[in-house]
Amino acid sequence: MRNQIQSIAVRNALLNWFQAHARDLPWRKTQDPYGIWLSEVMLQQTQIATVIPYYQRFLRAFPNFKRLAASPFEKVAEQWSGLGYYRRARHLHLTAQRIVREFGGKFPSDYQKARKLPGVGHYTANAVLSIAYNQPLPALDGNVARVMARLYAWKGHLQQSSFRRAAERKLQELIPLENPGAFNQAMMELGQTVCLPRHPVCEACPLSPWCRAHRLKIPERYPAPKPRRPTESVHLAAAIIQKDRKLAFIRGLDEGLMSDLWNFPAAFGKSKGQALKRLQEKLAKATRKVPRLEKTLGTLRHNITFRSIQVTLHRAKLRDYSPRSGIRWFSIKDLDHAPVSQLARKIAKAIILDHHSALSRHNRGAGLPRRDQAVKQR
């Protein structure tokens, strides 16, 4: 009974605070499951400020499931370009097609059916169903998990299934039958704006009277940090193939990474030599010709999740390649709107810089008079 009274007090304090402090976000102005689902997908791993303009542009280009489903994926990827994690764009497109085909263009209100859609995990299903269809399902993301861990001073972290189960059970006690979507959004908002990872603003928190971590004066210690996977150092050889001021790209990087994105042809290896050998084999297989990999253009470093990658760029010559090689040609200008990886953008930038410095070296070497020399000669 005491627990129940406390749960009601916590819930009411949170909802009152949310009513007064909720930020004016575009997806909060709609009850349309399409817009709510779109925002939830975009917000996975991406900051709110980054998502807002993408969300608005995307909605203008594809205002509903039907328009999104009918569009070619390339157009969807163009609108997504720069938001990262392109697998989400692929899932978004596939989900829209399934919804049009199987559910008449309406996001299903049944949890089991929603979960079968590409890219709709437990969290996304609960978030969409609670906000769009008023179903009392807890939406436990990283921000909500942090608030819960501190409120009850729980040990453990979100990656542990025992932690997730306990948090969901407790959230289920707190979530109201009426307007559960507002409750879920209020928990997320509190985690994003008040119960911050490093410096929680406990004095502005509506839950401080019940918060155990606050009472213990050590809120930052909750939740426990998740164990880190050790960093792996690898080499990547990438081919820069140029034709008529355009550069060759192929879909996917290597070893199944970035399969939806255009990349410079590349291959991983444990050593520089192994990466280069694998790249040569890969190009020979794709083009049915043994490529001529010429001098090294330079190296750069790039990190993808736990991989620390030393990238070596090789200029390559490719004559008479097969049209079935999967190669697509992009100019540097095209890259602004094309679905290419961040690594490919970084390489393109390095090529431009190299080109400019080579040009200035050339100009100096050719004896073109600098302004001061020109004056002296006169």
Catalytic residues: 40
How far apart are CB 21 and ligand SF4 at their closest, in Å? 13
Nearest to ligand SF4 of 215, 317 (CB atom):
215
Smallest separation, CB 219 to ligand SF4 (Å) = 3
Cα separation, 53 vs 55, whole angstroms = 5
Residue of 36, 41, 69, 195 interacting with ligand SF4 (CB under 6 A): 195
To ligand SF4, the closest distance from the beta carbon of 45 in angstroms equals 22
Q: Per-residue x/- marks for ligand SF4, 95-134, CB under 6 A?
A: ----------------------------------------
The conformational region for residue 291 under phi > 0 = left, psi -120 to 50 = alpha, else beta, is beta
Q: Which of 25, 48, 153, 202 binds ligand SF4 (CB under 6 A)?
A: 202
Q: How far is the CB of 8 from ligand SF4 (least distance, A)?
A: 17
**Closer residue to ligand SF4, CB minimum distance, 68 or 151:** 151
Look-up of token digits 């199987």: 102
Among residues 211 and 253, whose Cβ is nearest to ligand SF4? Answer: 211
Question: With binding defined as CB under 6 A, does residue 205 bind ligand SF4?
Answer: yes
Q: According to the binding rule CB under 6 A, does residue 187 interact with ligand SF4? A: no
Using CB under 6 A as the binding rule, whether residue 186 contacts ligand SF4 is answered as: no
Q: Bridge partners of 293?
A: 316
CA–CA gap between residue 238 and residue 293 (Å, rounded): 10
When asked if residue 314 is in the footprint of ligand SF4 (CB under 6 A), the reply is no
* Nearer Cβ to ligand SF4 (76/194): 194
Q: State how far the alpha carbon of 256 is from the alpha carbons of 14, 30, 82, 176, 307, in Å.
A: 44, 37, 20, 43, 14
d(CA 194, CA 147) in angstroms, rounded, equals 9
Helical axes 180-193 vs 2-21, angle rounded to 10°: 70
Q: At residue 335, what are phi and psi to the nearest 5 degrees?
A: -65, -25
User: Which of residues 150, 164, 170, 235 is near ligand SF4 by CB under 6 A?
Assistant: 150
C-alpha 88 chain-centroid distance: 8
- In degrees and rounded to multiples of 5, residue 338 shows phi and psi of -95, 150
Q: Which of 143, 184, 192, 208 binds ligand SF4 (CB under 6 A)?
A: 208
Amino acid occupying residue 331: S
Residue nearer to ligand SF4 on the CB measure, 222 or 268: 222
53: CB partners within 8 A, 6+ apart:
none
Chain positions 210 to 269 lying near ligand SF4, rule: CB under 6 A, are 211, 213-214, 219
Closest to ligand SF4 by CB, 76 or 211: 211
276 sits in the region (left: phi over 0; alpha: psi -120 to 50; else beta) called alpha
Whole-number Å distance between alpha carbons of 150 and 215: 10
Least CB distance from residue 205 to ligand SF4, whole Å?
3
**Binding status of residue 148 toward ligand SF4 by CB under 6 A:** no
Omega of the bond prior to 223 within 30 degrees of 0, cis? Answer: yes
**Is-contact 202 219, C-beta < 8 A?**
yes
Interface residue list for ligand SF4 (CB under 6 A): 147, 150-151, 194-195, 200, 202, 205, 207-208, 211, 213-214, 219
